[in-house]
């Protein structure tokens, strides 16, 4: 992966490399979700992978009723690409 740097020091990640970051994050997310499902009782986990022109981010947390770590309308994210994976919803 190549990261260019603008004159002001801001990094610039190419489109192909953003997709690579998403693919790597997806692989990690699937592994973490598998681990969560293999516990007793199974953990309900949400993994959020994003990549944009300046960085890539991987976040995960336990799903809890009333908590949200991203806007549910993923089409609203215009500056970054995003993948959200849930292992399940919390039971009421």
Instruction: Give how many domains the chain has, as a whole number.
Output: 1
* 6 falls within a domain: no
Rounded Cα gap, residues 77 and 2, in angstroms: 24
Is the pTM here over 0.75, yes or no? yes
pLDDT for 92 equals 40
With a cut of 90, say whether residue 70 has pLDDT above it: no
Torsional class of 79: left (φ above 0), alpha (ψ -120 to 50), beta (otherwise): alpha
The domain in which residue 46 lies consists of 13-67+75-86
* 19 falls within a domain: yes
pLDDT for 74 equals 64
* 1 falls within a domain: no
Which tens digits make up the pLDDT trace of 10-68?
889 999 999 999 999 999 999 999 999 999 999 999 999 999 999 899 999 888 877 66
* 91 falls within a domain: no
* 29 falls within a domain: yes
Of the two residues 80 and 77, the one the predictor is more confident about is 80
Angle CA(23)–CA(25)–CA(27) in degrees, nearest 5? Answer: 70
Closest to 13 measured CA to CA, from 22, 25, 4, 26: 4
Phi, then psi, of 27 in degrees rounded to 5: -60, -45
* 45 falls within a domain: yes
* 7 falls within a domain: no
* 24 falls within a domain: yes
């Amino acid at each position: 992966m190549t990261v260019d740097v603008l004159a002001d020091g801001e990094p610039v990640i190419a489109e192909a490399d953003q997709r690579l970051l998403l693919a790597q994050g997806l692989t990690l997310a699937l592994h973490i979700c598998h681990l969560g499902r293999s516990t007793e009782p199974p953990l309900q986990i949400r993994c959020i992978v994003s990549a944009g022109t300046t960085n890539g981010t991987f976040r995960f947390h336990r799903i809890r009723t009333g908590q949200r770590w991203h806007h549910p309308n993923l089409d609203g994210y215009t500056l970054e690409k995003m993948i959200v994976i849930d292992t399940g919803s919390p039971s009421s």
